[in-house]
């Protein structure tokens, strides 16, 4: 059952929840409503759609719902669990049959801006990245802002959930992955680094870069060639450049 819930993301807020319920591309698992909600047309619409699609509806106290949404001040008394088939735990990912040639992963290390998080995921999905390592702590919540910035691609992203990124990277290295960080003073360009095996590219915090804990376990630091005095790129642009590297 725990592996099932690794594939679930909870969306909150009346408009986002109604849009999710009404989207034929999404598989909604359970609708959560606060028992203290006042009657409203939008709530009736949610329950009607849930009934038509055989989605379980659960009523909670306001406090219980805030624990489910994790945003009690913003959930507006509603939340919905959405099943994302591409999501997995790190353990499940490493145990799965990965005999599909070299795997290329991205890893998020302190991406705190939800818009950046969403755009990063959109770039990764568009570029065919095999997985996005997403630690529970240190990164932006995958809530409405990230979902909107991802243009809905978050729901079908190959997101690999883990608790501690440095520990997760070590586990991946033990399975044959090489870990690369990115910085202006990296030893080689990303275009000079041959991709002939399983690799992970770590994308660091918007202002501070890759954390020291992750730097200490990385195999090599690479750089992206920059011109005309530009010092850095948005993390989503960096994700796109890596995603579209020739295999």
DSSP, collapsed to helix, strand or coil, labels residue 58 as strand
Cα–Cα dist 162/164, whole Å: 6
Give the chain's domain count.
2
Last residue of a domain, one of 65, 83, 101: 83
8-12 vs 78-83, strand pairing mode: antiparallel
Give yes or no: residues 128 and 62 share one domain.
Answer: no
How many angstroms separate the Cα of 167 from the Cα of each of 120, 145, 175, 214?
22, 28, 13, 9
Give yes or no: residues 48 and 132 share one domain.
Answer: no
Give yes or no: residues 29 and 122 share one domain.
Answer: no
Give yes or no: residues 147 and 165 share one domain.
Answer: yes
Query: In terms of DSSP H, where are the helices of 88-143?
Result: 90-95, 114-126
Provide the angle, in degrees to the nearest 10, between the axes of the packed helices 235-243 and 114-126: 10
Give yes or no: residues 94 and 201 share one domain.
Answer: yes
Contacts of 126 (CB under 8 A, 6+ apart): 153, 240, 243
Residue 73's CATH number = 3.30.1330.30
Residue-level pLDDT at 4: 79
Contact 147, 125 (CB under 8 A): no
Residue 219, domain extent: 88-243
For the chain of 247 residues, list the mean pLDDT of each consecutive stretch of 10. 79 94 94 97 97 97 94 94 94 80 93 95 96 94 92 95 96 96 90 83 92 96 91 91 86
Contact 210, 185 (CB under 8 A): no
Last residue of a domain, one of 61, 83, 105: 83
Residue-level pLDDT at 170: 98
- The tens digit of pLDDT for each residue in 62-88 reads 999 999 998 888 999 999 999 999 999
Residue-level pLDDT at 171: 97
Give yes or no: residues 78 and 123 share one domain.
Answer: no
Residue 214's CATH number = 3.40.1280.10
Give yes or no: residues 170 and 217 share one domain.
Answer: yes
């Amino acid at each position: 059952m725990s592996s099932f819930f690794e594939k679930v993301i909870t969306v909150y807020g009346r408009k986002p929840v109604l849009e999710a319920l009404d989207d034929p591309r999404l598989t909604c698992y359970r609708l959560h409503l606060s028992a203290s909600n006042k009657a409203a047309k939008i709530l009736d619409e949610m329950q009607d759609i849930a009934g038509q699609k055989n989605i379980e509806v659960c009523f909670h106290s306001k406090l219980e719902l805030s624990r489910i949404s994790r945003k009690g001040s913003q959930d507006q008394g509603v939340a919905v669990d959405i099943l994302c088939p591409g999501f997995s735990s790190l353990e499940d990912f490493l145990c799965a049959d990965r005999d599909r040639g070299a795997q290329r992963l991205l890893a998020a290390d302190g991406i705190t801006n939800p818009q950046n998080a969403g755009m990063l995921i959109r770039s990764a999905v568009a570029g065919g990245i095999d997985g996005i390592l997403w630690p529970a702590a240190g990164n932006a919540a995958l809530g409405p802002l990230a979902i909107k910035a991802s243009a809905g691609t978050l729901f079908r992203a190959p997101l690999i959930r883990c608790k501690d990124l440095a520990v997760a990277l070590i586990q991946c290295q033990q399975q044959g992955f090489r870990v690369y960080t990115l910085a202006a003073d990296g030893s080689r360009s990303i275009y000079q680094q041959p991709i002939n095996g399983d690799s992970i590219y770590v994308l660091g915090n918007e202002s501070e870069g890759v954390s020291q804990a992750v730097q200490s376990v990385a195999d090599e630091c690479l750089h992206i060639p920059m011109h005309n005095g530009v010092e850095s790129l948005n993390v989503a642009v960096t994700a796109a450049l890596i995603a579209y590297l020739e295999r």
